[in-house]
């Protein structure tokens, strides 16, 4: 199993999925971390030619430009089963789910603490932090 955590510094979890610069990807075998790697992640700054407003009446993050951005952000973690963030938009959440990646929104910011909580089976998901 592989778990991706969004980060800018490999120590803390970034507050927003779309703005983070990297994924720290952890390979889990027999409930133990067996590998860790950092992967580059596209973020909102990589798409300056596309504005981030959604058409009137269309849900945020569901328009074609947003879907393109989300697909580019997700591409580096297509081999992961879980992604952990401290916040994300509904469109990113839907794109992750559609790609078979389970998003978890946490209120914790320390990567090591979050991994330990996840492996212990007591990491709380906070879907109310979706926007």
- Count structural domains, the chain: 1
- Cα distances from 26 to residues 19, 53, 80, 129, in angstroms, run 20, 34, 9, 24
User: Which tens digit of pLDDT belongs to each residue from 72-128?
Assistant: 899 999 999 999 999 999 989 999 999 999 999 999 999 999 999 999 999 999 999
Average pLDDT for the chain: 87
The CATH number assigned to the domain holding 46 equals 3.30.420.130
C-alpha 17/C-alpha 19 separation (Å) is: 6
C-alpha 52/C-alpha 8 separation (Å) is: 22
pTM for this predicted structure: 0.85
Domain that includes residue 73, residue range = 2-129
Q: Give the pLDDT of residue 60.
A: 47
């Amino acid at each position: 199993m592989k778990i991706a955590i969004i980060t800018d510094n490999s120590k803390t979890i970034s507050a927003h999925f779309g703005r983070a610069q990297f994924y720290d990807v952890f390979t889990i075998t027999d409930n133990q971390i067996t590998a860790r790697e950092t992967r580059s992640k596209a973020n909102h700054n990589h798409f300056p030619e596309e504005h981030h407003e959604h058409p009137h009446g269309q849900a945020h993050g569901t328009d074609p430009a947003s879907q393109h951005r989300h697909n580019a952000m997700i591409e580096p973690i297509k081999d992961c089963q879980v992604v952990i963030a401290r916040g994300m938009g509904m469109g990113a959440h839907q794109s992750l789910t559609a790609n078979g990646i389970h998003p978890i929104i946490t209120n914790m910011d320390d990567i090591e603490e979050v991994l330990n909580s996840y492996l212990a089976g007591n990491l709380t998901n906070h879907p109310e932090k979706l926007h």
